[in-house]
Amino acid sequence: MMISNEEKIYRKLLEVYPSSLATITELSFNCDASANFVESNVKGFNFDTVENCHPDCCNKEKSPDSLFYTNSKLYFIEFKEGKSKKDDIRLKIHEAVSTLYSFCKVHTPEITREDFFKLDIRYAVVLRAPDKHPNSSFAYALDLNSQKYHLKNLDGYIIKKTRIATHPKSILNVLKTATENAVTSISIHNHFGEPIHNVAA
């Protein structure tokens, strides 16, 4: 049975980094504040553990927190519970793709450069809704466009599609999509790690 290159890469990552599966609760944990952000027991791949295999690069690049595979798609998801900068958010996906490309050259050499740049790679940033704009209509407006980080100009360039999710329901939808509906409910925590929203599909 033929498998997609996306699935082949994800399987190889799990083979090379067998201890890198983690729950979404762990992947989204705010280490600086020692507080949970998004709570779910569904697991994803901790991409922070992946080192760049290129001999002329630093072994550890900046990268999104997590990687998920579903339906021949690779989903990078960055959880930003605290402050974030445009340059940092954009740099992470650039360096993640670079790291993934170097990984493929070493571990899946049968995937050519041309094949690699045909991969269906997607990038979502999950943010806490701004406290000063608590109403859902504003949050949904933020979700529907990526102007905060100007991510849309990356669509079709190094990745297929980008997304920002701030509203609890939108965060759930992103995680459902990235996990092939494995995530059916989540809890969103405040800055102190206290659950404030319970969302179910």
Q: Note the pLDDT tens digit of each residue in 29-70.
A: 988 778 899 999 999 999 999 987 655 655 555 788 999 999
Q: What is the pTM for the complete model shown?
A: 0.88
Residue 145 confidence (pLDDT): 47
For the stretch 120-152, pLDDT in tens is: 999 999 988 765 554 555 555 555 444 567 777
Contact present, 45 and 19 (Cβ < 8 Å): no
Please tell me the predicted confidence (pLDDT) of residue 55. 57
Tell me what pLDDT residue 59 has.
57
Average pLDDT over residues 98-106: 93
How far, in Å, CA of 21 to CA of 16, rounded?
12
Q: Model confidence over 61-99: pLDDT tens digits?
A: 578 899 999 999 999 999 987 677 777 888 888 889 999
**Rounded mean pLDDT, 170-198:** 93
Residue 155: per-residue pLDDT: 78
Report in angstroms the alpha-carbon separations of 89 from 30, 84, 138, 151, 192.
16, 7, 21, 9, 23
pLDDT per position as a tens digit, 147-183: 567 777 777 777 898 888 988 999 999 999 999 999 9
For 135-164, give one letter per residue: b (16+ CB within 10 A) or e: eeeebeebbeebeebebeebeeeebbbbbb
